[in-house]
A and B are shown apart, each in its own frame.
Chain A
Amino acid sequence: MSFNGKILKVDLTSSEVKVEEQPESFYRRYQGGHGIGLYYLLKESKHDVDALEPENPLIFAPGLLTGLRAPAVPRYVVISKSPLTGALGKSEAGGYWGPELKKAGFDALVITGSSKAPVYLLIRDDKVEIKDAGHLWGSETGPVQEKLREELGDKGTQVVQIGPAGEKGVLYANIVNNLAHFNGRNGLGAVMGSKNLKAIAVRGSGKLKAKNEERLKEIFRWTAGQVKEHPLSSMLHKHGTPAGIKTVNAQGGLPTNNFELGVFEGAEELASEDYSLKPKGCYACPVVCKRVVEVNEDDIVVDKMYGGPEYETLAALGSNCGIGDLKVVAKVNEICNRNTLDTITLGMTISFAMKCFEEGIIGPDDTDGMELKFGNKDVLIPLVEKIIKREGIGDLLALGSKKAAEKFGPESKKYLVESKGQEAPMHDPRVKTGLGLQYALSINGADHWFAQHDPFFAAEDGFGVIEMAGLGLTEAVDPLDTGMAKVRLIYYTSVLNSVYDLLGVCVFGYVARSLIPLNFLLDQVVAATGWKTSWFELMKAGERAMAMAREFNRRQGLEQEADKLSESFYRPLAKGPFAGKITLKEEDLNDAVEKYYALAGWNKSGGVSRNKLEELGLGWLVQ
């Protein structure tokens, strides 16, 4: 089977370690990933807890398929209440840590409480210890991983950890495994820091055994053989996500100067592969698409140990701040990775401050004398270092743009670009409206993988329409449409992406963004578990997890009013092919959100109806 039937529970206040056993029926219902994570979050958390209080649980949960020798399923989720948004915190990462936890015999790790002094957790199969981390506290991620592996005498130990930004409570601090794989969003590193938990080192000697190993091998061999042939996986393998910069810029949707412009004159340099080395991959993944960058020049040195800037980082810290110097962006990416900072929220918070500076809302007296102007690359590194240390202006910007706007004053709020308090990723809904729906509806704040992206469905011979016809998505949908066709596309694919997260799937391995088709994914679930299952059951499991997430937000007081976009998205772009055109209207977006609720069986306030909860077997959530 692909699961162990065991959940590890650690209370850092009492130092109590427990193992809870779960039957097969639990996995059939909640699968893995956010299904299991949300189950425990809803069971263990109080309604009104602050995200940084000890009572806020922090849950790590690999996907149902994670840990098998199956292609592109290395992912695990971290679930908690987000300190950045006050909504659900949910962020997935690939790499190697999730598979290792499964090999150690656990399907999830539920952490509650808070340690009085810094600790790390050591899991070696069923031996679990809470160990002193006083000597690691304050250190960056590279030295910590090296020291832990050295101390434990085992280079194969997988380490998930926070850097100094998480320790200092930067509200968008993230969590990293293997130095370059991030649970990037929602500030979950700050939750880990609030628990005085520096790292979790895992080593497992077990091996998950699928019910039908041969079928998994067949699909693995097929994938490995096709990676360099299929245009999407080939592009990811050879060029990684930065290859998207030129297309998005030509389309007029490359976030530039705090989302005011859709084109950036420095896009060619940002997209350059001058400093790229051979890419690295994740556990059992033949796509191998993680960028590695090294710079060894007189003015800048970038350490390849920390990976390299992906599309999101290039745009967030590059074009979105008006900066086209690839070396500087790569250096800031390295600093973020060493210290565990979300590069999207960081870039967006800086660009927001730059816009406020240029509009005269704030001045040098507010910025420690720094000229926060678009394109001023000289301020980027010192400003990021101030944020990590929470010094001066950095202490305010460590809270993210929405909380900074409270200090900057009401005039600044029209320049926010966020949903539920999380800054938007690098995809402009004015060029593909489905992203607007995604940002508004994302249960954990603006998220670009809540559903699939519009371009794959723009034509009947597009990869999305071809590959997802079996889900009922048989027609092309205009990227600028906001009617029922778009709502259906986003609804169906949001449930699909929820299934992906349950299983541990990486979107860079599977359709529509990559090569592995849906029937192969179903085959893998059958091969892994022996269940006589179907896409119907999987989609219902996806719906179930979304309903639980929605219910968590309702308990935080977040309903329809939270499913909104910043007004920035309703202003036309100032440059590029869409300049001056209103392509997204607030009333159309809000109407589409309501249509989505209706399709999902949610009520008009965005809550999950009692009937829908009962249908999904979530009667225990009905109060």
Chain B
Amino acid sequence: MITVLFKSILSEYVPGEPDQVELTYEPDLTIRAILEQCGLQPGHIGLAMVDGQVSDLDCPLHDGVTVELYPIFGGG
């Protein structure tokens, strides 16, 4: 099982619970593939973390990890 937390306004792009989705583990699953499933473009993402560590979008995910996704931001 992989837990994905959609932070801040990214929660608007996922159904169900406000900000959390549980995915069945599949080999070679990446954050980029998760984004595609949710209709998010990579440019939406300002920060991706896996178990609290910064991660790139193409790194294969292990079973049991928690992914946190934050929207892009630059310039207030």
**A456 vs B73: C-alpha distance when bound (angstroms):** 8
The stretch among A114-122, A169-177, A233-241 that forms the contact with chain B is A233-241
Could you say which residues of chain B place their CB within 8 Å of the CB of A456?
Answer: 43, 72, 74
**A312 vs B76: C-alpha distance when bound (angstroms):** 6
The B contact surface, by secondary structure, is mixed
Does A466 belong to the interface (CB within 8 Å)?
Answer: yes
Closest residue of chain B to A241 (Cβ to Cβ) is B76
Closest residue of chain B to A513 (Cβ to Cβ) is B75
B47 to chain A, nearest CB (A): 5
Known A-B contacts A247-B7, A247-B70; A453 and B75 likewise in contact (beta carbons under 8 Å): yes
For A308-331 the 0/1 string (1 means CB < 8 A from B) is: 001110010000000000000000
Known A-B contacts A235-B9, A238-B9; A244 and B43 likewise in contact (beta carbons under 8 Å): no
The stretch among A65-73, A352-360, A407-415, A457-465 that forms the contact with chain B is A457-465
A247 adjacent to B76 (CB under 8 Å): no
B41 adjacent to A248 (CB under 8 Å): no
Does B2 belong to the interface (CB within 8 Å)?
Answer: no
A interface bracket (residues with beta carbon within 8 Å of B): 35 or more
A461 to chain B, nearest CB (A): 4
For A456-482 the 0/1 string (1 means CB < 8 A from B) is: 100101110010000000000000000
A246 adjacent to B7 (CB under 8 Å): yes
Per a CB cutoff under 8 Å, which of A315, A426, A461 touches B42? A461
**A238 vs B10: C-alpha distance when bound (angstroms):** 12
A47 to chain B, nearest CB (A): 34
Could you say which residues of chain A place their CB within 8 Å of the CB of B70?
Answer: 246-247, 250-251
Closest residue of chain A to B7 (Cβ to Cβ) is A246
**A184 vs B46: C-alpha distance when bound (angstroms):** 27
Known A-B contacts A247-B70, A459-B42; A315 and B47 likewise in contact (beta carbons under 8 Å): no
Per a CB cutoff under 8 Å, which of B8, B12, B57, B74 touches A513? B74
Could you say which residues of chain A place their CB within 8 Å of the CB of B47?
Answer: 247, 250-251
Does B54 belong to the interface (CB within 8 Å)?
Answer: yes
**A310 vs B68: C-alpha distance when bound (angstroms):** 25
B:30-48 near A, CB below 8 Å = 40-44, 46-47
Could you say which residues of chain A place their CB within 8 Å of the CB of B8?
Answer: 239, 243, 246-247, 271
Does B50 belong to the interface (CB within 8 Å)?
Answer: no
Closest residue of chain B to A459 (Cβ to Cβ) is B42
A:247-269 near B, CB below 8 Å = 247-248, 250-251
Known A-B contacts A238-B9, A241-B76, A310-B76; A251 and B46 likewise in contact (beta carbons under 8 Å): yes
Could you say which residues of chain B place their CB within 8 Å of the CB of A243?
Answer: 8-9, 71, 73
Most A C-beta atoms less than 10 A away, residue of B9, B71, B75: B75
Could you say which residues of chain A place their CB within 8 Å of the CB of B74?
Answer: 244, 427, 432, 452-456, 512-513
Could you say which residues of chain A place their CB within 8 Å of the CB of B54?
Answer: 577
**A462 vs B45: C-alpha distance when bound (angstroms):** 9
The A contact surface, by secondary structure, is helix
Known A-B contacts A243-B8, A577-B54; A250 and B49 likewise in contact (beta carbons under 8 Å): yes
**A577 vs B7: C-alpha distance when bound (angstroms):** 18
Does A6 belong to the interface (CB within 8 Å)?
Answer: no
Could you say which residues of chain B place their CB within 8 Å of the CB of A577?
Answer: 54
B48 to chain A, nearest CB (A): 10
A455 adjacent to B42 (CB under 8 Å): no
For B50-71 the 0/1 string (1 means CB < 8 A from A) is: 0000100100000000001011
**A513 vs B76: C-alpha distance when bound (angstroms):** 10
**A98 vs B29: C-alpha distance when bound (angstroms):** 52
**A454 vs B68: C-alpha distance when bound (angstroms):** 21
**A311 vs B73: C-alpha distance when bound (angstroms):** 11
Could you say which residues of chain B place their CB within 8 Å of the CB of A143?
Answer: none
Known A-B contacts A455-B46, A577-B54; A463 and B9 likewise in contact (beta carbons under 8 Å): no
B9 adjacent to A462 (CB under 8 Å): no
Does A275 belong to the interface (CB within 8 Å)?
Answer: no
A247 adjacent to B43 (CB under 8 Å): no
Could you say which residues of chain A place their CB within 8 Å of the CB of B71?
Answer: 231, 235, 243, 247
Could you say which residues of chain B place their CB within 8 Å of the CB of A454?
Answer: 74
**A407 vs B70: C-alpha distance when bound (angstroms):** 43
**A544 vs B46: C-alpha distance when bound (angstroms):** 34
Does A305 belong to the interface (CB within 8 Å)?
Answer: no
A244 adjacent to B76 (CB under 8 Å): yes
For A424-464 the 0/1 string (1 means CB < 8 A from B) is: 01110000100000000000000011001111100101110
B43 adjacent to A315 (CB under 8 Å): no
Closest residue of chain B to A425 (Cβ to Cβ) is B76
Most A C-beta atoms less than 10 A away, residue of B41, B57, B72: B72
For A510-533 the 0/1 string (1 means CB < 8 A from B) is: 001100000000000000000000
**A433 vs B29: C-alpha distance when bound (angstroms):** 32
Per a CB cutoff under 8 Å, which of B7, B68, B72 touches A463? B72
**A232 vs B70: C-alpha distance when bound (angstroms):** 13
Does A393 belong to the interface (CB within 8 Å)?
Answer: no
Does A507 belong to the interface (CB within 8 Å)?
Answer: yes
Closest residue of chain A to B72 (Cβ to Cβ) is A455
**A454 vs B47: C-alpha distance when bound (angstroms):** 13
**A238 vs B8: C-alpha distance when bound (angstroms):** 12
B9 adjacent to A426 (CB under 8 Å): no
A501 to chain B, nearest CB (A): 14
Could you say which residues of chain B place their CB within 8 Å of the CB of A238?
Answer: 9, 12
B42 adjacent to A462 (CB under 8 Å): yes
A466 adjacent to B75 (CB under 8 Å): no
Can you pick out 27 interface pairs between chain A and chain B where the beta carbons lie within 8 Å of each other?
A231-B43, A238-B9, A239-B8, A239-B9, A241-B76, A243-B8, A244-B73, A246-B70, A247-B73, A248-B73, A250-B68, A251-B70, A311-B76, A315-B76, A425-B76, A448-B75, A449-B75, A453-B74, A453-B75, A455-B72, A455-B73, A459-B43, A461-B41, A461-B42, A462-B42, A463-B72, A466-B43
Nearest first, the 7 A-B pairs at minimum CB distance are A453-B74, A311-B76, A244-B73, A463-B43, A247-B70, A247-B73, A461-B42
| B residues with CB within 8 A of A | 7-9, 12, 40-44, 46-47, 49, 54, 57, 68, 70-76
Given A244-B76, A247-B70, A250-B47, 9 more A-B residue pairs with CB atoms under 8 Å apart are A231-B40, A239-B9, A247-B7, A251-B46, A312-B76, A456-B74, A459-B42, A459-B43, A462-B42
